Every structure is written in C-alpha cells, then in structure tokens.
C-alpha cells in the first residue's frame, strides 16, 4: 500500500438528523486532487457519505488508532479523531469552522481556520439547530497546499 | 483465726495496701498473721509459691485477691473443703468449682479458692511459674497431681451454671479475672492467656493425640442477634453445634430484648449440646446500637479468627471446616466466605459481582452456589476472618448498612486476599421478623450510605461520570496520569468504555450506574460556560478534577 492519507471528514450527525455545522464543505475537491498522489482511507460510521473507495466504517477504536499511527497524514474536522491522534502523538490537519481550535484543538496540529470572526459566541452550546455555513471554511486549495507542503 | 495461719503475699501494689497490711499486724484476732512484700508484680504463680513455702499448716487454702467470704457459720468454708479429704484419702485438691480445660480435655480445680495438703506440694512440686502472670498454673498442678493418682473434688455442690457464672454452695464470692484486664497491671492479657494455653496443649496432648489448640486456632463464632429468639436464632446455634470442625467459643450478642434464654427449653437443649460438643459459649448483652458493634467486640476479643454468622442463617456442617482450610496455611488470606443463599430465591444471574464497585449493579457471587474458589474485593453476611486487622466502622447507625462490605474491603486494601468457596453453603433466611428488617426509617440507611461513600473517598477511590462525546472522552484521557497520582483508583462511569480499557487502576462502568453511586457528572460544558472558559478543554478538565 502506498503512503496513505487518513481522512475523517464528518462530525456526528445531529439529533434531528441534520448536517453538522462542523462538517467541511469542500471534501470532494480536496479528495479529487489528492487521490492521484496518495491512497486515501476514510473512516466513519455507517450512513455517512462515502468520499473515497477505501471507506472503513464502524471500526473499533483500536483499529482507528492503528490507521492513525500508520498514516502518512491525517485530515479531520472537529470530531473525535484529533483528540485520539493527540494521545497517539501523531500530528495532522484539522479543518475548523465555528468551533475554536484554541479550546477544542491541539497546538501541534495544523489548524486551518478561515477567521476567528466566524467563531460562534457560545462555544459550549449545542449544535442542534445551527445552520451550516460553507463560507466560513478555508478554500480547498488551502487544504491541498497544506497537504502537499 | 486463732488456730489458722494467714499469709498475704503482696506484689506490685501501688495503693495503700502496705499500710493496710501493717495495720493488720496489730489485729489481735490474727495471732498467726504474716505478710510478704514485693515491689514489682511477681505474677500469681510465684506469689502463691512464696506463701506455700512459708506456710506451716497441714492444709493450705489458696485464695485470690478478688474473693470475698460470704456470711457463713464458723469455719464453714474450711470445713466444707476438709470434709472431702476425709471422705476419700485419694483426694489431693478441693475447691468450690471444677472447670474443664478444653485444649487438653482435662478437668481441674480453679485456684481462686483451692485447698491442698502441704505435703502434696512436696510430691508434685510448687506451681510452675512459666505460667506467669497467671492462668494455667492451676490446670498444670491438678493434672500433675491426677497423673500421680490423686483426685480433685468439689467442696459442697454446684447448684447452677449460667453463662460465665457458677453458683455453688460454698459461701464465697469470686469476681473473676479481677486483675488481668487492667492494662496498667498486666499488659496484653489475651496474648498471655493464649501462650499459656499452648504450653498446656503441648505438655498434655489429649488422649486422641490431637492437640486441639493447634487445630482450632482459637476460632470464635460470633452471632449478633435481635429479637429472633423463637424463629431463626436456634437454627444458627444448632448449625454451629453440627459443624464437623467446632469453633472454640460461641458468643451470642443479644442486641434486642436481653432475654434470659435459659428459661426456654429450646435454648437449654442447645446450651447442653454446646457443652457436650465442647464449645465454650456465653451470651453477651449489647447496647442495641447495631450488630457492627458486637462484631467489633468479637474482632478485638483476642481470638485469632472470627467466624461471623447472622442470626437468620444455617451453616451446613462442613462450612467452618471448608472456610478454615483456605486460611490456616496461607497467611495472605484475610477472610473466607462461602455461598450464602436464600433457599428458593437463589440468584439466577449469569454474571456475578466480585468487585466493590459492582455491588449496586450485579448480584453478589455469594448469592448463588457453585464450584470453585473465587477471589473477591469484599464479602457479604457470613465469613471467617483474621481478627484485629481491620475494624468495623462504629459511625454506622443501628441498621449497620454496608458494615461487612467496609470491613472486608479494608482487609483487602491491607493486602489480604478475600476468598469465596462456593461449595461451602450457608442458608440465609432473611427473616422478616427481628434484626434490621423491622427498622422502617429510611434515613438510617441513607446515613450509612453516606458513611460508605465517605469511606470510599478515604480509601482513595475517585468516582467520575463522563457523559460527553467521544472526543471529550479522549481529551479526559490526558489528565488520567495526574489523577492516578492523586487517587488509588479511578472508577469511571462513561459513555464510551472502550476509550479507557486496559488502563491500570482505572475501572470502567456503564454511565447508567453512576446515579446508583451518587455520582453526578461535573458538566464540562456547563462549567466552561459558567466560567467563560477560553482555554483548552484539557485544561478545563484539570481545573475541575485536579484543583
């Protein structure tokens, strides 16, 4: 297997089954660019949108941990994966929207935040009912450049 | 006293005894009076020997200093004793009370009052001072005399025996052990007593060849009881009598109406059976404040092992023998229990609790019979334990909720193994009458539960509930090393148990059980909102749990 990039593209679906506002809206563009140079492995749960051929669903945490450790790089939104990666001392890229990387992130990662102006005021409130705003996320070129750089 | 010699041997006295003895020298009623003085305590055997050697009379009446002659005809006590020597020339020792020395299975005259011909001391020898400070020298002397062909005899007659009290026809009152329990006079009497018993056991092994002291290891059976006199208490006592291996003593701690059980035929038969089974026994009235207090008394009574039974249980005949077999040769075993089952209501679960923190969520492994021996972290109801290592919590209320859990877990934390031999069966009837089951005030149980929770804190356990998302569980992992420096063990009630698997000193339980332990989650997000938190959630966790 070539060097692979591990992606964890989605945050947990909300209770009302709506799209989580933390989800990065430009995954397809990123994947389209990177897939020629890298194997890409996606982790997630059954029911989430599949972005790549190698989509591994409902893994044990130990299996996810192994994928993180053996990856060339991981890219994630603000979900569980950056926290697990921090414990495994594996750096990666986190794509932020409204949640604050200073609170929920780790400094060793590359935290891509378009602007602190877009951060929600109530960082500890629930996400249910919040509208997804694609414009507050960095452009896919920024992500691609970060990976290749 | 004109024809009698009085010799007093004072040793180790610190009061005005000397002045009193000096005054007696002036008493014209005591023409043949003398006294000896030893500044330091000599022990009873030596003190008696000094008097024996100095005595001039044909017969010597030995008396303890905690006796009192009651109203009597002139020389009645003396004559009652002398009469026995006149009746049978083979009699060598006479006294008001014959007792039985269980370790060596021999009778003897208790030397609080005993008449012995002076010449017998020349034949047998003086009292053996190895038994100092006392207890055993009378047994030893009587056995030596009997082995030379002499007999022992009772002066007068025994009229009645009661638990811990003898009533005879000799007009004398004896307080009994009036000196030995004063720690300022005699240090650690129980240890001394046991040592002397072992000396006797080694010197005079019973005819069976079995040295019962070594076999039994001084086992005390303790049955606290409350108002179950006519229901299940007799069953518990009967089961003790039927044991293939007998305890040395049974103490019934009456925490209820303090009835005189001798008035009931059932108990007269049981007491006689205990006597016949050579199990010493007595009934002790306690203060009605709960069985844990009685258990603490038995725990500190000087026995090596205590076998505790509830007053609504029946132990199958092989229970004590089985329990003892696990503890006698393994110093690392602190306590052993068996299955304690309610007939007809045996627990039917598939998995059973062995850990302390399973008690609110699973059936106890003791509640169902089975095979094998299992190690556990706490014990329930009836078990055999090493005494005077752990202690019962006397802050508990009279319902003594969690008393045996706290006690046995303390043994566990001191490094001892707790075992359950599932084949040793005790029936537990959960008698609805008497005991704690008549208590209706729920506040008593709440009080004790709070004591238990505080004890859990004192033991160094930290109970934590986490209901947050998976990412927050991982974030919490960052502070676990620091928490484990502060606490003995973390008990974590979590949504994602797999996050914390295989971490030493971290036990995981489902979040649903947190409430049963009174553990409320310290809402991370609520806390952060309250304090307008701007730093990382790992630092927030540190602030909440480590500050």
pLDDT in tens, B89-113: 999 999 998 888 878 888 899 999 9
Structure tokens at B168: 């005879």
ipTM of the complex: 0.95
Please tell me the distance from the alpha carbon of residue B515 to that of residue B497, in angstroms, as a whole number. 17
Spell out, as residue ranges, where chain B has pLDDT lower than 50.
209-217
Q: What is the pLDDT of residue B185?
A: 64
Q: Which residues of chain A have pLDDT under 70?
A: 1-2
Nearest CA in chain B to A59: B498
The residue of A45, A63, A80, A86 whose CB has the most chain B CBs within 10 angstroms, and thus the best one to mutate to test that interface, is A80
Is A45 touching B (CB cutoff 8 A)?
A: no
Centroid of chain to Cα B216: 14
CA distance A146 to chain B (A): 24
Looking at chain B from residue 426 to 485, which residues have their Cβ under 8 Å from any Cβ of chain A?
Answer: 469-475, 477-478
Q: What pLDDT score does A48 carry?
A: 93
Nearest to B331 by CA among B386, B391, B373: B386
**DSSP notation for chain A:** ---EEEEE--PPPPTTSPPPTTS-TTHHHHHHHHTTTSEEEEEE-TTSPP-SSEEEES--HHHHHHHHHH-SEEEEESSSHHHHHHHTT---EEE-SSS-HHHHS-TTSEEE-S-GGGS-S-TTS--TTPPP-GGGSPPHHHHHHHHH-
User: What are the residues facing B374 on neighbouring strands?
Assistant: B420
Beta strand B158-162 with B165-168: parallel, antiparallel or unpaired? antiparallel
pLDDT at B197: 86
Question: pLDDT for A80-119, tens place per residue?
Answer: 999 999 999 999 999 999 999 999 999 999 999 999 999 9
Rounded distance between C-alpha atoms, residue B478 and residue B299, angstroms: 44
Query: What does the pLDDT read at residue B182?
Result: 66
CB contact under 8 A, A102 and B535: yes
Q: Which residues of A touch B536 (CB under 8 A)?
A: 102-106
Q: Which of residues 83-142 of A touch B (CB under 8 A)?
A: 83-84, 86-87, 102-106, 122-125
Shortest CA gap B547–chain A (Å)? 19
The verdict on a CB contact (< 8 Å) between B525 and A87 is no
- pLDDT tens for B494-534 read 999 999 999 999 999 999 999 999 998 878 999 999 999 99
Q: In a mutagenesis test of the B interface, which of A86, A90, A124, A127 is the best target, namely the one with the most B β-carbons within 10 Å?
A: A124
| Type and span of the H or E element at B524 | helix B524-530
Per this entry, what is the length of chain A?
149
- CA dist A129 and A15 (Å) reads 9
Residue A93's contacts (CB-CB under 8 Å, 6 or more residues apart) are A73, A74, A75, A76, A109, A110, A112, A143, A146, A147
Contact B499 A61 (CB under 8 A): yes
Q: Compare CB distances from B525 to A62, A82, A124 and report the shortest one's residue.
A: A124
Give the predicted TM-score (pTM) of the model.
0.68
- Cβ contact, residue pair A103, B470, below 8 Å: no
Is beta strand B489-494 parallel, antiparallel or unpaired with respect to B506-510?
parallel
* Cβ atoms within 10 Å of A19's Cβ, excluding its own: 14
Report chain A residues whose CB lies below 8 A from the CB of B524: 124
How far apart CA B428 and CA B309 sit, in angstroms, is 10
Phi first, then psi: what are they for B484, rounded to 5°?
Answer: -75, -15
For the CA atoms of B87, B88, B93, B98, the dihedral, rounded to the nearest 10 degrees, stands at -70
| Record: contact B472-A123, CB cut-off 8 A | no
Closest CA to A35 of A149, A144, A146: A144
């Amino acid at each position: 297997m070539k060097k692979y990039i591990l992606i964890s593209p989605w945050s947990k679906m909300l209770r009302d089954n709506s799209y989580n506002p933390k989800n990065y809206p430009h995954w397809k563009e990123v994947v389209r660019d990177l897939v020629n140079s890298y194997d890409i492995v996606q982790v997630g749960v059954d029911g989430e949108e599949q972005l790549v051929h190698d989509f591994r669903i409902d893994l044990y945490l130990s299996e996810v941990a192994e994928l993180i450790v053996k990856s060339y790089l991981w890219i994630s939104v603000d979900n569980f994966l950056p926290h697990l990666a921090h414990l495994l001392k594996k750096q990666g890229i986190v794509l932020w929207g409204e949640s604050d990387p200073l609170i929920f992130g780790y400094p060793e990662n590359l935290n891509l935040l378009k602007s602190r102006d877009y951060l929600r005021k109530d960082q500890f409130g629930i996400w249910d009912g919040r509208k997804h705003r694609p414009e507050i996320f960095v452009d896919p070129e920024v992500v691609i450049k970060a990976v290749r750089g | 006293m004109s024809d009698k010699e009085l010799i007093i041997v004072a040793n180790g006295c610190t009061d005005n005894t000397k002045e009193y003895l000096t005054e007696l020298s002036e008493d014209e009623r005591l023409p043949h009076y003398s006294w000896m003085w030893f500044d330091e305590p000599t022990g009873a055997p030596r003190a008696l020997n000094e008097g024996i050697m100095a005595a001039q009379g044909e017969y010597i009446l030995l008396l303890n200093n905690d006796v009192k002659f009651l109203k009597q005809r002139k020389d009645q006590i003396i004559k009652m004793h002398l009469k026995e020597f006149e009746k049978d020339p083979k009699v060598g020792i006479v006294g008001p009370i014959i007792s039985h020395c269980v370790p060596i299975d021999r009778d003897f005259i208790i030397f609080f009052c005993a008449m012995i011909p002076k010449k017998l001391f020349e034949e047998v020898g003086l009292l053996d001072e190895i038994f100092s400070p006392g207890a055993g020298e009378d047994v030893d002397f009587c056995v030596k005399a009997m082995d030379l062909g002499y007999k022992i005899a009772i002066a007068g007659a025994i009229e009645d025996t009661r638990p811990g009290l003898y009533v005879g026809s000799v007009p004398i009152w004896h307080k009994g052990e009036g000196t030995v329990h004063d720690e300022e006079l005699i240090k650690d009497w129980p240890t001394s007593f046991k040592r002397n018993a072992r000396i006797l056991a080694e010197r005079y092994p019973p005819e069976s060849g079995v040295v019962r002291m070594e076999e039994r290891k001084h086992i005390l059976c303790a049955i606290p009881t409350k108002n179950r006199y006519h229901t299940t208490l007799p069953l518990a006592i009967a089961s003790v009598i039927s044991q293939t291996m007998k305890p040395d003593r049974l103490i019934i701690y009456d925490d209820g109406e303090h009835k005189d059980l001798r008035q009931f035929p059932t108990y007269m038969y049981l007491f006689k059976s205990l006597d016949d089974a050579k199990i010493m026994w007595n009934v002790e009235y306690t203060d009605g404040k709960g069985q844990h207090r009685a258990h603490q008394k038995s725990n500190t009574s000087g026995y090596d092992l205590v076998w505790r039974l509830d007053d609504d249980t029946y132990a199958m005949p092989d229970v004590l023998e089985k329990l003892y077999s696990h503890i006698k040769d393994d110093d690392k075993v602190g306590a052993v229990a068996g299955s304690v089952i309610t007939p007809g209501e045996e627990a039917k679960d598939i998995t059973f609790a062995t850990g302390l923190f399973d008690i609110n969520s699973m059936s106890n492994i003791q509640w169902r019979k089975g095979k094998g021996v299992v190690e556990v972290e706490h014990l329930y109801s009836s078990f055999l334990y090493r005494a005077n290592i752990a202690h019962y919590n006397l802050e508990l209320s009279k319902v003594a909720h969690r008393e045996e859990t706290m006690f046995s877990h303390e043994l566990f934390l001191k490094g001892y193994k707790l075992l359950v031999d599932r084949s040793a069966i005790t029936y537990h009837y959960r008698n609805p009458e008497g005991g704690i089951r008549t208590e209706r005030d729920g506040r008593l149980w709440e009080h004790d539960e709070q004591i238990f929770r505080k004890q859990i804190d004192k033991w160094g356990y930290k109970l934590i509930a986490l209901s947050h998302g998976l990412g927050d569980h991982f974030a919490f992992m960052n502070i676990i090393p620091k928490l484990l420096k502060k606490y003995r063990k973390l008990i974590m009630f979590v949504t994602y148990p797999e996050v914390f698997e295989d971490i030493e000193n971290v036990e995981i339980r489902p979040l649903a059980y947190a409430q049963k332990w009174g553990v409320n989650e310290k809402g991370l997000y609520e806390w952060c909102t309250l304090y307008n938190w701007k730093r990382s959630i790992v630092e927030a966790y540190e602030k909440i749990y480590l500050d």
